[in-house]
């Protein structure tokens, strides 16, 4: 039995985990955190123990607090899958991104991958960076300086000029501007952000013809990515979602 404990909104991760579990003939319980006894003051660990008392094997969890799945894994016997924790990591999104890159490009090692956008607040960025470096890709981060955290110990390139970043790129993974996690002002206006860092057809002209265009979703169309670019033939944004089901089936199966 797998239980889905989502404390933050999700379309792709929750639905694809549910579909993956059903294809593996698991029982699936969707736990609505907002209407549970958590709202009466029950702790996360007590809630998880209560769920576990009903014989859960796997808990898939999304939470706004970085580290919460790790905390829960120490409190219960069920296997915990991180469905995204705060600004920390989104491991299965990373895996489905690598699957998609390898499917389309035939390899990961040696690929030039640009991660564009709100890297500071992005758990997808962190899971991509750690995994891509491990698999031998060259990783370039492109964003305004205010949206790039200090990854001083990691071997990543930093480029503030999107046209230059695009020149040798094989893959671009575009990230959403996460307004909900921004406590400060990181750029003067969305319009200015889009003019410098939005992926438009005009900027794509500086890239190779076979540039693979990716986005984990949800997209802010015409903010970080132009509507027309998201719909180009070399955009694989919908295929990423499709691949997410198979990748999550694999994760559930291995666990
Ligand atoms: N990519 C991703 O995690 O999407 P959802 O927030 O819709 O699950």
Substitution site in 10, 94, 100 for ligand 1 pocket (most atoms within 8 Å of beta carbon): 10
Which one is predicted more confidently, 152 or 94? 94
Whether this prediction's pTM lies above 0.85 is answered by: yes
Q: Are 92 and 248 in contact (CB under 8 A)?
A: yes
pLDDT digits (tens, 9 = 90+) for 97-139: 999 999 999 999 999 999 999 999 999 999 999 999 999 999 9
Give the per-residue pLDDT at 4.
84
pLDDT digits (tens, 9 = 90+) for 237-250: 999 999 999 999 99
Which one is predicted more confidently, 1 or 195? 195
pLDDT band at residue 54 using 50, 70 and 90 as cut-offs: confident
75 CA to centre of ligand 1 in angstroms:
26
pLDDT digits (tens, 9 = 90+) for 198-236: 999 999 999 999 999 999 999 999 999 999 999 999 999
Give the per-residue pLDDT at 249.
97
Residue 15 Cα: closest atom of ligand 1: 8
pLDDT digits (tens, 9 = 90+) for 142-200: 999 999 998 778 999 999 999 999 999 999 999 999 877 777 789 999 999 999 999 99
pLDDT at 31 over 90: no
Is any atom of ligand 1 closer than 6 Å to the C-beta of 131?
no
Give the per-residue pLDDT at 36.
82
Q: What is the mean pLDDT of residues 54-63?
A: 91
Substitution site in 7, 11, 86, 122 for ligand 1 pocket (most atoms within 8 Å of beta carbon): 11
């Amino acid at each position: 039995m797998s239980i889905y404990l989502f404390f933050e909104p999700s379309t792709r991760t929750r639905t694809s985990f549910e579909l993956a579990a059903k294809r593996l003939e698991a029982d699936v319980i969707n736990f609505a955190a907002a209407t549970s006894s958590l709202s009466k003051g029950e702790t996360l660990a007590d809630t998880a123990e209560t769920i576990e008392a009903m014989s859960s094997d796997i808990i898939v969890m999304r939470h706004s607090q970085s580290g919460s799945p790790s905390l829960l894994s120490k409190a219960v016997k069920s296997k915990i899958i991180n469905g995204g924790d705060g600004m920390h990591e989104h491991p299965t999104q990373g895996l489905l991104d690598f699957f998609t890159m390898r499917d389309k490009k035939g390899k990961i090692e040696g690929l030039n991958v640009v991660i564009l956008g709100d890297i500071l607040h992005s758990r997808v960025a962190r899971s991509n960076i750690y995994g891509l470096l491990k698999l031998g890709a060259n990783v370039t981060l492109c964003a305004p300086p205010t949206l790039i955290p200090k990854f001083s110990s990691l071997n990543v390139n930093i480029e503030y000029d999107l046209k230059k970043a695009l020149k040798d790129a094989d893959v671009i993974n575009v990230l959403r501007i996460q307004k909900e996690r921004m406590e400060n002002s990181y750029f003067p206006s969305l319009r200015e952000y889009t003019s410098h860092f939005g992926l438009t057809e005009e900027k794509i002209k500086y890239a190779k013809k076979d540039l693979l265009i990716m986005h984990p979703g949800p997209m802010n169309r015409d903010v970080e990515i132009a509507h027309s670019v998201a719909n180009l033939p070399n955009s694989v944004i919908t295929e990423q979602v499709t691949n997410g089901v198979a990748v999550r089936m694999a994760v559930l199966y291995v666990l």
